[in-house]
């Protein structure tokens, strides 16, 4: 079960990810905050499932950091009508 993320982070930059390693694409995020800074990558795996490289900010079933990144991304979404 995920715990609540403790700390303050913000998203500094978002970019599309498409490489030989991640041919289906994804989203890259540069983040920073009181816990440090880093790069977060969300991508589709060969198995068709969504994967994340959190640079060891989450482990196993603890997805508190991922939940916080996604919350911050949702805040930035503009719905076009």
Say if residue 65's pLDDT is above 80. yes
Q: Could you tell me where the beta strands, DSSP code E, fall in 6-53?
A: 9-17, 26-33, 36-44, 50-53
How far is it, in rounded angstroms, from Cα 39 to Cα 77? Answer: 19
Say if residue 23's pLDDT is above 80. no
Residue 1: what pLDDT?
44
Confidence of residue 2 (pLDDT cuts 50, 70, 90): low
How far is it, in rounded angstroms, from Cα 30 to Cα 12? Answer: 5
């Amino acid at each position: 079960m995920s715990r609540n993320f403790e700390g303050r982070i913000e998203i500094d930059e978002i970019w599309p990810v498409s490489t030989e390693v991640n041919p289906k694409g994804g989203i890259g995020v540069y983040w920073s905050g009181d816990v440090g800074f880093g790069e977060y990558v969300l991508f589709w795996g060969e198995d068709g499932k969504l994967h994340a490289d959190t640079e060891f900010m989450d482990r196993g079933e603890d997805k508190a950091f991922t939940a916080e990144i996604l919350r911050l991304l949702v805040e930035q979404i503009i719905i076009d009508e």
